């Protein structure tokens, strides 16, 4: 099946082909025809499956072909995203796909001035991509009119739930016209999300393209036992052994900064992103990493969702996440689009119960590998082999 067979206009298909895409992913093949028919949709899809295009392309088609003219101070469609980074990336997708078709879009999120956002809104928009908190700010200050919304997409609804945004989303939904199309995308459909769909959607079509809590098939999972006080020493050894780009997850903001400073002092090109960084600093760090100017990105879980980094070879969990599902979201940055990926976790004795919970969620064993010179934090029969760091890179 090609994009031409999904019901998209020749102009939009040409734009997609210009970006190098010829065959739709499963979520795109199933979602696009449903959206083009004007139906509400609840779609289950993991990150890395092409879900942004699954709603962006048919939204653009419906906005440009069947939508009403833009009016100053209003927007014709709305996309809600949980984080600043994801909002920026979704906006970038709309901008890229719609640039040659006259589409006008912008993104609004916290951490930056509202004035440029207000100016963009006043001109009138086809697509507004927003985080819930900043959109509520605009609504309270009456700087936006949502009465003309024809299509709403809630992206990563499960993450919205995790971050406590469901009450904010309910407030936003009550402010929208009832006669609209609503799309909801989520990796998992917990009862709270199902309830949201029942209350605010009209007989939604449900599709699921991957089982919940699945990971890309070409990701190799490996865990290194190590005492907590030697983790930084071990991560330096691993980074010396493998010179490819690496995304490292830490549990806390201060831990991310400490590790980033330690790596930078050791001669590595490393930057950190987390909630205490300004939006401009976060965007700059992410762009440096995506462009290859920076080799190592250290992040908290704000970066686990929505980061679209092509061909990222490795993710390191410096700290294991407290919630097993966050492991899946973290490692979803590697092994995308059929590429091979590596998920490496540094596991202290205190974190062994977290590793067991992750293995239960994955329904598979994570290979336990003792790194020579570091050993396990305590004797353990689960160590399957010894790992001798390669010295091929100098």
Q: Which CATH superfamily is domain 3-208 in?
A: P-loop containing nucleotide triphosphate hydrolases (3.40.50.300)
Segment 165-194, tens digit of pLDDT: 999 999 999 999 999 999 999 887 888 888
The CATH classification number of 219-387 equals 3.40.50.300
Q: Which has more pLDDT, 331 or 40?
A: 40
| Residue-level pLDDT at 236 | 94
DSSP letter string, 166-202: HHHHHHHHHTS-SSSEEEEEESS--HHHHHHHHHH-S
Whether 207 and 37 have beta carbons less than 8 Å apart is answered as no
- Tell me which residue of 389, 390, 380 sits closest to 227, measured CA to CA: 380
Model pTM score: 0.66
Same CATH topology for 3-208 and 219-387: the answer is yes
Minimal CA–CA distance to 168: which of 138, 132, 128? 132
Q: Is the pLDDT of residue 61 over 90?
A: yes
Q: 84-98 and 279-291 are packed helices; what angle lies between their axes, rounded to 10 degrees?
A: 60
49 vs 211: CA distance, rounded Å: 12
Are the CB atoms for 188 and 23 separated by under 8 Å? no
Per-residue pLDDT reduced to its tens digit, 236-290: 999 998 888 899 999 998 999 999 999 999 999 999 888 777 777 887 888 888 8
* Strand-by-strand arrangement of the 367-371 sheet: 270-273, 296-299, 246-249, 314-317, 341-347, 219-225, 367-371, 385-387
User: Three-state SS for 387?
Assistant: strand
What is the residue extent of each domain of the chain? Answer: 3-208, 219-387
Local structure of 353: helix, strand or coil: helix
Q: Which two tokens stand for residue 311?
A: 């061909």
């Amino acid at each position: 099946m090609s994009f031409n067979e999904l019901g998209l206009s020749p102009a939009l298909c040409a734009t997609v082909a210009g970006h190098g895409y010829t065959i739709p992913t499963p979520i795109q093949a199933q979602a696009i025809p449903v959206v083009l028919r004007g139906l509400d949709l609840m779609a289950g899809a993991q990150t890395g499956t092409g879900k942004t295009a699954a709603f962006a392309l048919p939204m653009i088609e419906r906005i440009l072909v069947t939508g009403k003219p833009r009016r100053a101070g209003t927007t014709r469609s709305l996309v809600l995203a949980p984080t600043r980074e994801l909002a920026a990336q979704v906006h970038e997708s709309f901008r890229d796909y719609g640039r040659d078709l006259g589409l006008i879009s912008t993104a609004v999120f916290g951490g930056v001035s509202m004035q440029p956002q207000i100016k963009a809104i006043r001109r009138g928009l086809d697509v507004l991509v927003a985080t819930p908190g900043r959109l509520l700010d605009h609504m309270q200050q009456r700087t936006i009119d949502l009465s003309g919304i024809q299509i709403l997409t809630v992206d990563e609804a499960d993450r919205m739930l995790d971050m406590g945004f469901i009450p904010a989303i309910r407030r936003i939904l009550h402010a929208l016209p009832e006669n609209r199309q609503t799309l909801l995308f989520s990796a998992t459909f917990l009862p709270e999300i199902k309830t949201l769909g029942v209350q605010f959607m009209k007989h939604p079509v449900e599709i699921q393209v991957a089982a919940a809590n699945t990971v890309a098939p070409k990701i190799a999972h490996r865990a290194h036992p190590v005492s907590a006080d030697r983790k930084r020493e071990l991560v330096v050894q691993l980074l010396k052994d493998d010179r490819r780009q690496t995304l490292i997850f830490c549990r806390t903001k201060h831990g991310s900064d400490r590790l980033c400073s330690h790596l930078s002092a050791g001669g590595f090109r490393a930057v950190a992103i987390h909630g205490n960084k300004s939006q401009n600093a976060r965007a700059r760090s992410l762009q440096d990493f995506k462009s290859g100017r920076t080799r190592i990105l250290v992040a908290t879980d704000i970066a686990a969702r929505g980061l679209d980094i092509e061909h990222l070879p490795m993710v390191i969990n410096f700290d294991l996440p407290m919630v097993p599902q966050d492991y899946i979201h973290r490692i979803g940055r590697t092994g995308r689009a059929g590429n091979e990926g590596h998920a490496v976790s540094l596991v202290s004795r205190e974190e062994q119960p977290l590793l067991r919970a992750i293995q239960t969620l994955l329904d598979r064993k994570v290979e336990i590998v003792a790194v020579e010179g570091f050993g396990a934090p305590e004797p353990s029969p689960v160590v399957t082999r010894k790992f001798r760091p390669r010295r091929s890179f100098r």
